């Protein structure tokens, strides 16, 4: 999942696995495998870099595990 910004400054998280194409027209338009199009503030290159980082984290195993997540009281899940 990658975090992106809509033109109204709303942040959202997108499943990078369903991105089919990213174009600059000059706005950055992301086309999903579903056919839906999303316009974002990030450049085409920024989106590409976020997808590369996401995929690197997946293959390297450096993504956030449940044991790394803190509960609201500050305890790690692995402490339970």
Tell me the pLDDT tens digit for each residue of 15-54: 999 999 999 999 999 999 999 999 999 999 999 999 999 9
Confidence band, pLDDT 50/70/90 cuts, at residue 61: confident
Stretch 5-15: mean pLDDT: 97
**What's the rounded Cα separation, in Å, for the pair 27 and 39?**
7
Whether pLDDT at 62 is above 80: no
DSSP 3-state of 12:
strand
- Is-contact 39 24, C-beta < 8 A? no
Per-residue pLDDT band for 80 (boundaries 50, 70, 90) equals: very low
Instruction: Give backbone dihedrals phi and psi of 22, rounded to 5 degrees, phi first.
Output: -130, 125
Cα separation values, 78 from 65, 73, 75, Å: 10, 13, 8
- DSSP letter (8 states) at residue 1: -
pTM of the model: 0.74
Regarding predicted confidence, which is higher, 80 or 70? 70
């Amino acid at each position: 999942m990658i975090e992106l910004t809509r033109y109204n400054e709303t942040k959202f998280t997108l499943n990078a696995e369903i991105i089919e194409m990213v174009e600059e027209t000059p706005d950055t338009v992301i086309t999903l495998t579903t056919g839906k199009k999303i316009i974002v503030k990030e450049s085409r290159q920024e989106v590409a870099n976020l997808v590369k980082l996401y995929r690197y984290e997946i293959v390297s195993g450096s993504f956030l595990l449940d044991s790394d997540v803190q509960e609201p009281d500050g305890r790690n899940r692995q402490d339970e």
